Structure 1
Amino acid sequence: MSKDKTPQQKLWEMIKDIRFGMLTHRHTDGGLHSHPLTTQNKELGEKGVLYFFVSRTTEVGSRLRVDGNVNVTYSDPHKDHYVSITGTATISEDMDAKQRLFNPMAKAWFPKGAGDPDLELVEVHITSAEYWDVKESKPTQLFKMAAAAVSGERPTMGEHHEVSVGAH
């Protein structure tokens, strides 16, 4: 990780242009269930909180109220950015936050705006994250993998870090 960037800044840099995160939570039967959700953040503040809007008519909010342990993953194969975030999700009724985060794309799902009674705000308080940021070009990656296959040694490509992010 760059010495002049905080973990939050590095994470935000990697995910800010990725439209959807896959939020994984525990299903009532104990299995894991994932949903593609649009990240509503305009930045990732010092507290390390991700925001998503969900509909009250889905099971997401009710499941998160029972078990808020979640994982959110982001992937941008074109830039070779891969991020896995661990955190605790809560449902917030903070109208100021809903209004601040509401945007024209959200209006397609919630036509009555930030005050839509169907809108629930999910806050994911990040505790840790892991990321892979491959900086080498595709030809260089292929060359390194071929050389590793011949030599029997693992290729070294890009950055891989595990970081603590939010307040604990």
Structure 2
Amino acid sequence: METQTQHNPQLEKVKDMVEDIRIAMMTTTDEQGNLVSRPMACMQMDADGTLWFFTKKSSPKVGQVEQHDNKVNLSFADAGDSDFVSISGTAQELDDRAKIDELWSDMAKPWFPKGKDDPELTLLKVHTDMAEYWDSNDSRMVRFFEMARSIVTGSTYKEGENVKVTN
């Protein structure tokens, strides 16, 4: 996954976390109003905080995005490091062959066996409206001792950094 230095410096931490995690659960709203999520590999986070994904034109998510004001949520989680990112954004399906060429890698071939010229291949572009992250930089052992400390002392567990960023 490619990431670029963010124009909004507050998104730099979000970029670093997304780059490490890479797979998001993308949530959209279906025709019955249900929230539905599916895993998506992020191909790029550009300098404007826009995240780029490959998808199929015939995928239900493309229609769901268009029917519901283009609003999506992206959730990234690395439970092992206790790092979590939630991004609320505006999505758009975009058939941009130059951008597909730029982002294409053989890692996408299992989903698009015809390659980057597959007529079903399109992009989902998600502009970050707001992001929130939780970052517990400490090791598991430090987190364990912090939990034990909070139990013994009756105080609140100190989870680490929790920040909201608007773009």
Range of TM-score over shorter length: 0.7 to 0.9
- Of 12, 18, 23, the residue aligned with 2:21 is 18
Greater mean deviation of Cα atoms: 143-152 or 7-16? 143-152
Residues 1-168 of structure 1: pairs in structure 2 closer than 5 A: 6-41=9-44, 44-67=45-68, 68-165=70-167
In 2, Cα distance between equivalents of 1:52 and 1:122 = 5
Runs of 4+ displaced beyond 3 Å: none
Greater mean deviation of Cα atoms: 117-126 or 13-22? 13-22
What is aligned with 2:3? Answer: none
Shift of 1:110: 1.5
Q: In structure 2, the residue corresponding to 1:47 is in which secondary structure? A: coil
What is aligned with 2:5? Answer: none
The answer to whether the 8 Å contact 2:11/2:165 transfers is no
RMSD: 1.6
What is aligned with 2:4? Answer: none
Shift of 1:143: 1.9
- Structure 1 gaps of 5+ residues are none
Q: Report sequence identity in percent.
A: 34
| TM-score (ref. length: structure 2) | 0.88
| TM-score (ref. length: structure 1) | 0.87
CA deviations 1:91-136 (Å, max 9, x no partner) are 0011111111111011222123223111120001001100011022
Greater mean deviation of Cα atoms: 105-114 or 57-66? 105-114
- Structure 2 gaps of 5+ residues are 1-7
